[in-house]
A and B are shown apart, each in its own frame.
Chain A
């Protein structure tokens, strides 16, 4: 008896599941937490809040969304939190490539494999910046002057994206730079404006105000082709006028930092699919275009196998640089 009823029940359940349309696969039933792996006001925080606003404005989900900042330990706090919340589909973690880069170089208690990748939503570009009144006009001049070995390069954090790029420049340009880590790109930009540094490799949004204000200027961009046409930044120049570094003899074809979105580990494919779909919807809105333009980032959307491949490639590359520098943790 018992067995038959169980069978019947499961059969009924199977029928039910089959008839319910696919869109109702999984829906959140309680408030969602967006975890920004950066302090308030930083690039990652801005992304999380921009997505929150778009989702709320277009009612892309019925549930309310709260943004929490867990930026301690260069973002490690947020990822560790994500690892600890395994199986909980109501925590969405916003980060960068440091999700897989940080575990390589410091003994943090997480790895990117503890999380479920959802998407890479935007790419931030890197440029080589010098002080406005510096004598060099292009990357070639800069490298010649840097051969003296006395140049100070600033950047955000240690053994992170900025320092990796600095070491790549050293190798490609056959120079030696003294790398000085600061807390953030904004702080680094101010130090360059004050003449305490010779250069840095900030993202466009981190030095936009400084370029417009005439305290520093970009020499070249680490991208295979020039940046897209946009409004002028200074009276005469815009992002598209900045030459690529390869054009100027500094052979680093591409270096960019993706903004990444994760769920904790051990969530079901249905739950992951819901968020992939949600982010896709967010990206289709005019507000998103607006956000991308204001922060001077490049719009991309990587998910699934494509994202996996991207992470693997980047990981291999960083591993190589970190290995040469002796940064890898045992």
Chain B
């Protein structure tokens, strides 16, 4: 239990007045950049980075990581209230969070999201504390075939998932893959699908796509369906915050399963985005109320949020121990480490014990500070929902336009964002699911790279995906998830095709996310 001793030493570093103040400042700044879409955690952290050069490395990393926690929480706020995810990893939160908020329960939605996020983060930190050395080894075992297998698993948990017609899911995935392919291809180095627009060489930024698909797309649907401007009447009730958090233990199965998925994806390193999608997909399939997912289910919020934060937290471990940043924000922090004169890698745990354990202890404390601050702000954010739609709608358009422009100061991005808005509207009207589209945009090119790297390694043989136990397990699990709904349907058909069963499927088609 050397680790415990080190951790206690870490707490003596983290729990000092200046460090607690830094945490509070970091969290508040983080919530701010998280709530403003287009700014986001990576940009926020890089803006703050120059200020930390004069600081002790421990203080600097505490400030930056607190900002990261704050931004993760803040990102969920806009996902739930306005259907605009600020970070790729909070997309899945919109699926049930937004319907619940529109339903007049924004306080419940926010408090549930924050509570489960805190739980996920806590599990992630505990994992880091006890399994630091083991986890580092697991991450090393991941070569291109294993990466591909993890992405395959994430896709598989979505295709054929009840709800949208499987063929529509496949169409959405295919469009997403095509969008992800735009720009320079890593494996061949050539320019693809830029359609003569020079600037498209940079590819399609995720934030641009998502703000259009969700923010603008949802707005268009709302304008059409309920033009009679309606404000959501939500009582600001402090007790509801605590009641919502208090109800969480009832969903302990979902919490634990999502935390496990999150930790696994964080260290392997599939990343928080794949984790939250996979967790949502699996919850939808295995939850008793799975068919109501997409209409504002509590477990539909718990699952992605828990997994997202568990993965986001445990993703810091590969960064520290191996120098692989698990997310864009981690990459910026890694740049910071180098500038402060530290080199991420296995030796960090030996040479810089104060730094590493100070940081780990600050994750415990920082998350508690973040959750306390963010729960305090719930009623304030929930009150935003009472503003009439006629006022909120233009604000959402402004936020999306400014957000898209600020990604890389480009008008093309604004135009693309509006274009995605129309695509999002059409998807909704035609009952095509948006989730697989977004998933393919976010990890489609990574999956493609991993697949082609594997093919280069094996000189074209698919046998490489069954070359060792790890990759075989992942691939088999993926195939099983892919075939499970088919097998279930087959079994049901064989038993008796009753009219009631048919009614059920049509009901499901209506609740497409």
Judged by a CB distance under 8 angstroms, whether A238 is at the interface is no
> Chain A 189-200, CB within 8 Å of chain B: the 1/0 string?
111011110000
> Would you give the shortest CB distance from B186 to chain A, in whole angstroms?
6
Judged by a CB distance under 8 angstroms, whether B409 is at the interface is yes
* A80 and B198 contact, CB distance less than 8 A: yes
Judged by a CB distance under 8 angstroms, whether A315 is at the interface is no
Q: How many angstroms from the CA of A39 to the CA of B186 in the assembled complex? A: 15
Known interface pairs A73-B183, A190-B324. Does A157 touch B189 (Cβ–Cβ under 8 Å)? yes
Q: How many angstroms from the CA of A127 to the CA of B409 in the assembled complex? A: 37
Q: How many angstroms from the CA of A159 to the CA of B287 in the assembled complex? A: 48
* B50 and A49 contact, CB distance less than 8 A: yes
Q: Give the residue of B186, B347, B456 whose beta carbon is less than 8 angstroms from that of A209.
A: B347
* A73 and B191 contact, CB distance less than 8 A: yes
> Would you give the shortest CB distance from B73 to chain A, in whole angstroms?
21
> Would you give the shortest CB distance from B145 to chain A, in whole angstroms?
9
For A212, list chain B residues within 8 Å (CB). 343, 345, 347
Judged by a CB distance under 8 angstroms, whether A214 is at the interface is yes
Q: Give the residue of A49, A181, A194 whose beta carbon is less than 8 angstroms from that of B189.
A: A181
B449-498 residues at the A interface, CB under 8 angstroms: 449, 453, 456-457, 459
* B338 and A80 contact, CB distance less than 8 A: no
* B345 and A152 contact, CB distance less than 8 A: no
Closest A residue, CB atoms, query B332? A40
Judged by a CB distance under 8 angstroms, whether B13 is at the interface is no
* B186 and A183 contact, CB distance less than 8 A: yes
For B331, list chain A residues within 8 Å (CB). 39-41
For A189, list chain B residues within 8 Å (CB). 323
B336-359 residues at the A interface, CB under 8 angstroms: 338-339, 341, 343-348
The interface residues of chain A, by DSSP majority, are classed as mixed
* B202 and A73 contact, CB distance less than 8 A: yes
Closest B residue, CB atoms, query A191? B143
* B184 and A106 contact, CB distance less than 8 A: yes
Closest A residue, CB atoms, query B346? A213
Q: Give the residue of B143, B191, B346 whose beta carbon is less than 8 angstroms from that of A108.
A: B191
Known interface pairs A70-B408, A205-B338. Does A194 touch B142 (Cβ–Cβ under 8 Å)? yes
For B186, list chain A residues within 8 Å (CB). 157-158, 181-183
Known interface pairs A39-B328, A108-B201, A181-B189. Does A53 touch B343 (Cβ–Cβ under 8 Å)? no
* A77 and B50 contact, CB distance less than 8 A: no
For B50, list chain A residues within 8 Å (CB). 49, 52-53
> Would you give the shortest CB distance from B426 to chain A, in whole angstroms?
27
Q: How many angstroms from the CA of A238 to the CA of B80 in the assembled complex? A: 53
Q: How many angstroms from the CA of A45 to the CA of B334 in the assembled complex? A: 12
* A107 and B191 contact, CB distance less than 8 A: yes
Q: How many angstroms from the CA of A100 to the CA of B491 in the assembled complex? A: 61
Q: How many angstroms from the CA of A68 to the CA of B202 in the assembled complex? A: 14
Q: Give the residue of B143, B191, B348, B457 whose beta carbon is less than 8 angstroms from that of A194.
A: B143
For B339, list chain A residues within 8 Å (CB). 46, 49-50, 294
For B409, list chain A residues within 8 Å (CB). 68
Q: How many angstroms from the CA of A183 to the CA of B348 in the assembled complex? A: 24
Q: Give the residue of B46, B53, B201, B453 whose beta carbon is less than 8 angstroms from that of A80.
A: B201
B14-34 residues at the A interface, CB under 8 angstroms: none
> Would you give the shortest CB distance from B189 to chain A, in whole angstroms?
3
Judged by a CB distance under 8 angstroms, whether A210 is at the interface is yes
Q: How many angstroms from the CA of A213 to the CA of B341 in the assembled complex? A: 16
* B188 and A209 contact, CB distance less than 8 A: no
Closest A residue, CB atoms, query B340? A294
* A180 and B343 contact, CB distance less than 8 A: no
For A182, list chain B residues within 8 Å (CB). 186, 449, 453
> Would you give the shortest CB distance from A161 to chain B, in whole angstroms?
12
Name which of A42, A45, A106 has the most chain B CB atoms within 10 A of its CB: A106
Q: How many angstroms from the CA of A215 to the CA of B348 in the assembled complex? A: 13
* B334 and A190 contact, CB distance less than 8 A: no
* A74 and B42 contact, CB distance less than 8 A: no
> Chain A 32-69, CB within 8 Å of chain B: the 1/0 string?
00000001111001100110110000000000000111
For B372, list chain A residues within 8 Å (CB). none
Number of interface residues of B (CB under 8 A): 52
For B141, list chain A residues within 8 Å (CB). 194
Judged by a CB distance under 8 angstroms, whether A160 is at the interface is yes
Judged by a CB distance under 8 angstroms, whether B325 is at the interface is yes
B199-248 residues at the A interface, CB under 8 angstroms: 199, 201-203, 205
Judged by a CB distance under 8 angstroms, whether B49 is at the interface is yes
* A159 and B328 contact, CB distance less than 8 A: no
* A77 and B408 contact, CB distance less than 8 A: yes
Q: Give the residue of B142, B143, B201, B325 whose beta carbon is less than 8 angstroms from that of A73.
A: B201
Q: How many angstroms from the CA of A152 to the CA of B341 in the assembled complex? A: 32
Judged by a CB distance under 8 angstroms, whether B501 is at the interface is no
Q: How many angstroms from the CA of A189 to the CA of B202 in the assembled complex? A: 25
> Would you give the shortest CB distance from A111 to chain B, in whole angstroms?
12
B41-68 residues at the A interface, CB under 8 angstroms: 42, 46, 49-50, 53
* B199 and A208 contact, CB distance less than 8 A: no
For B205, list chain A residues within 8 Å (CB). 72
Known interface pairs A46-B335, A190-B323. Does A181 touch B49 (Cβ–Cβ under 8 Å)? no
Judged by a CB distance under 8 angstroms, whether A298 is at the interface is no
Q: How many angstroms from the CA of A84 to the CA of B348 in the assembled complex? A: 43
Judged by a CB distance under 8 angstroms, whether A122 is at the interface is no
> Would you give the shortest CB distance from B334 to chain A, in whole angstroms?
5
Q: How many angstroms from the CA of A170 to the CA of B258 in the assembled complex? A: 48
Known interface pairs A72-B203, A77-B201. Does A181 touch B191 (Cβ–Cβ under 8 Å)? no
Judged by a CB distance under 8 angstroms, whether B322 is at the interface is yes
* A74 and B456 contact, CB distance less than 8 A: no
For B53, list chain A residues within 8 Å (CB). 53
Q: How many angstroms from the CA of A295 to the CA of B338 in the assembled complex? A: 8
Q: How many angstroms from the CA of A194 to the CA of B459 in the assembled complex? A: 20
Known interface pairs A183-B186, A191-B143. Does A41 touch B198 (Cβ–Cβ under 8 Å)? no
For A300, list chain B residues within 8 Å (CB). none
Closest A residue, CB atoms, query B204? A72
Judged by a CB distance under 8 angstroms, whether A237 is at the interface is no
Judged by a CB distance under 8 angstroms, whether B115 is at the interface is no
Judged by a CB distance under 8 angstroms, whether B8 is at the interface is no
> Would you give the shortest CB distance from B96 to chain A, in whole angstroms?
32
* A49 and B202 contact, CB distance less than 8 A: no
> Would you give the shortest CB distance from B132 to chain A, in whole angstroms?
14
* B189 and A76 contact, CB distance less than 8 A: no
* B189 and A213 contact, CB distance less than 8 A: no
Closest B residue, CB atoms, query A70? B408
Q: How many angstroms from the CA of A214 to the CA of B322 in the assembled complex? A: 11
> Would you give the shortest CB distance from A216 to chain B, in whole angstroms?
10
Known interface pairs A41-B332, A45-B335. Does A160 touch B189 (Cβ–Cβ under 8 Å)? yes
Judged by a CB distance under 8 angstroms, whether A105 is at the interface is yes
Judged by a CB distance under 8 angstroms, whether A186 is at the interface is yes
* B345 and A209 contact, CB distance less than 8 A: yes
Q: How many angstroms from the CA of A206 to the CA of B303 in the assembled complex? A: 37
For A191, list chain B residues within 8 Å (CB). 143-144
Q: Which 4 A-B pairs have the closest CB atoms?
A: A72-B202, A209-B345, A158-B189, A196-B143
13 A-B residue pairs with Cβ-Cβ distance under 8 Å, sorted by A, are A40-B46, A40-B331, A42-B335, A73-B184, A74-B184, A74-B189, A80-B201, A157-B189, A182-B186, A186-B325, A187-B324, A209-B347, A213-B347
New contact pairs (6) apart from A76-B202, A196-B144, CB-CB < 8 Å? A49-B49, A106-B190, A158-B187, A190-B324, A209-B348, A212-B343
